Structure 1
Amino acid sequence: MIVEERDYRIKVGKLTEFLSHYERDGLPVQEEHLGKILGHFVSEIGELNHIVTLWGYASLDDRLARRDAMAKDPRWQAYLSATVDLVDIQTTRLLRPTSISPIR
């Protein structure tokens, strides 16, 4: 399994607006294409206004195929257009679980 960690720094004062758009318009499309979300978090201490999302894939090829299909979905394109001005910075990491990880 490959876990993708996506970290979004949302513009100050826009976190609630972003979450509203995401829950209503983004997540349903993502779960249709990517499968069930592993985790969704907001920062409480430290650098604020961050959202961290975890997705699981069988392999890098699986990830590529699923994300390519989602990128072609007009509903996803509409969601991106509605939220592009709310995101300050986005980073993505691909993680490989170790032998002691409860997520494999």
Structure 2
Amino acid sequence: MIVEHRTYTFRPGSVDGWLKKYESQGLAIQKRHLNRFLGLYVSEIGRLHTTVLMWGYDSLADREARRQAMYQDPDWQTFISEVWALDAIRSQDVMIMNPAPFSPGA
């Protein structure tokens, strides 16, 4: 399994609104397509106004196919256009993480 690790930094005061929208609309769409939701975490100490979202995939090809299908979904297109209209996200960093040979996900 590989892990997609997404870090989002938000405009101060906008994280809670984004979380509510994501929980009520976006997460279900992504679960339908991306399948292995590993978690969503919110910073408490350190770089504030930051979330980390993680998804697991069998391979890069699996990730690519699943995300491509999601991008074609009209529900996703509506959701993501509404998210961008919130003007809440200030930056986004995406890493693909491979497990160490002794990791349970290897």
Map 1:1-104 to 2 at 5 A. 1-84=1-84, 85-104=87-106
**So what's the TM-score if we normalise by structure 2?**
0.93
Give the drift of 1:79. 1.1
Could you tell me whether the CA contact under 8 Å between 2:36 and 2:57 is conserved in 1? Answer: no
For structure 2, the 5+ residue unaligned runs are: none
Deviations 1:13-54 (A, max 9, x none): 001100001001110000000003111100111110111011
Structure 1: how far apart are the matches of 2:46 and 2:102?
Answer: 28
Give the drift of 1:77. 1.0
Could you tell me whether the CA contact under 8 Å between 2:42 and 2:51 is conserved in 1? Answer: yes
Could you tell me whether the CA contact under 8 Å between 2:40 and 2:53 is conserved in 1? Answer: yes
Alignment: residue pair count: 104
Corresponding residue SS for 1:78: helix
Mean Cα deviation higher: 60-69 or 92-101: 92-101
Corresponding residue SS for 2:5: strand
Structure 2: how far apart are the matches of 1:100 and 1:11?
Answer: 38
Structure 2: how far apart are the matches of 1:11 and 1:46?
Answer: 15
- Percent of aligned positions with the same letter in both sequences? 44
RMSD: 1.0
Corresponding residue SS for 2:48: coil
Give the drift of 1:100. 2.6
Structure 2: how far apart are the matches of 1:86 and 1:79?
Answer: 14
1:2 partner amino acid: I
2:103 partner amino acid: S
